[in-house]
Structure 1
Amino acid sequence: MELQKKTLPVEEANGWYLMKTEKRCWSEEFIDEDSGDRTTEERSEILCGKGTQINDIIKSLLLENGITTVKVSNVALLGEQDKKFNLWEIAIKVLTGKGNKKSYIVTADSPAAAEVFISEYLEVNMEAVFKLIKINEQDYNKVIKIYDSEKEQLELNKKRICWYKAQIYSMLDDGDDESEGSSAGSRNILVQATSFEKAMAAIKAVMIQNEFDSIYNTFKKIEELNIVDVFMPDENLVYYSDEDLTKITVED
């Protein structure tokens, strides 16, 4: 049987299966006993679970609670994808022109969503035929980027800007008792810079600025990646400027 998905008025949905759990939602007001302030709280109650087949009784229940349209399928869909936003590296091969390979990092909730995003981006921004080679999930604890204004100036000055992957070994100092308050492990950091030295300095600058204050770190390795660009929401990125690096002495 071919799977069909539709959005239907409840009156026309007899025999179809709900694609999501339907709930009755309402607001309740109460007085906070401590402050005396009036507070509103959202409440909900499940009416029908995902996969429920719609009949006259279910229709009446939905309509009585103000639900007039539903997403349905012709077979019961009981599984549900756990969607979380992760980083995905997408490798492509350019089939026209120089035909070289390129990689992009994309934030998405699935490989399919990452593929759609980069395909649409390249269709607009790349005048070439390209082929997606692979999509791999990435594990980075931090993504550090040059401020856009500085990056533009570097590009005008013909500076080569690259993405580097640094692996550092971290010892977290969470308390006075070393046996109970410390933990250790490797962390992967993705950083945009003009050289290996600048990449290391940028990581150290970020460590000083934020939660890395209480972490003792040792660089295990750093390598240049063949990444063209990284697409992430600004709130998930850490930016730095060249001024930040002047405060850091890079060890040999």
Structure 2
Amino acid sequence: MIQINDLSKKYKGADDFSVRNLDLTIAEGEIFGLLGPNGAGKTTLISMLSSLLKPTSGSFTIDGLNFKEHKNQLKQLIGIVPQEYALYPSLTAYENLVYFGSMYGLKGQALKNDINSHLETMGLSKFAHKKIKAFSGGMKRRINLISSILHKPKVLFLDEPTVGVDVQSKNVIMAYLKELNASGTTIIYTSHHLNEAEQFCTRVGIIDHGTLVCLGKPKELIAQEENAEHLEEVFLAKTGKALRDHA
């Protein structure tokens, strides 16, 4: 589904590359975890794959489409759930979803039916006509997710989809994502919740300083690392224990 070849990104004025000579293949139907410390290059990589950032060098394809020649078609294939809420706080949940659905050319009764169905699944039907600014963090996360999948994307990019939510919201979100994946959506997921990634992802790649340092199924990576019992221990072994504060 995604083929990345020798992909690099260096921001203007930066001393070093944020992503460096990265090669990666992600198969259709995978739940791929892109993991790494702060500043490792995860968001930069997803931004390039989402056509939000232009690579410095290298190439990639999504579903066989080259990013240079088929940029607009690629945007129709993907959904993006950013870490920050991408919602209009003064609009209701329903109004937000109608707006984002219309951006993908969706309209009429079909769009209304889809919105109502997703709101019901996510336990938000009774809040459909409440303004987003009155929502809790977990409710905003769920609306954020719905807005990204109304057009039924083949690939869904998730940047910290459960950060700052309560256990109940997290449970609903993860179950919803598993259903999406079972219906055919390929998922690329980033998170600092390594226990969550260990259970959720079919395969993970650990990225550090813009390069891929580890790749495989969670259980296999744990088995390969001496004395490791969980993915978190593999992560620390590959990236170190030094603080990664950055600004």
Which of the five TM-score ranges fits, normalised by the shorter chain? Answer: under 0.3
Greater C-alpha radius of gyration: 1
Q: Normalised by the size of structure 1, how large is the TM-score?
A: 0.21
Greater strand fraction, Structure 1 or Structure 2: 1
When normalised by structure 2's length, the TM-score is 0.22
Greater relative contact order (Cα 8 A, min sep 6): structure 1 or 2? 2
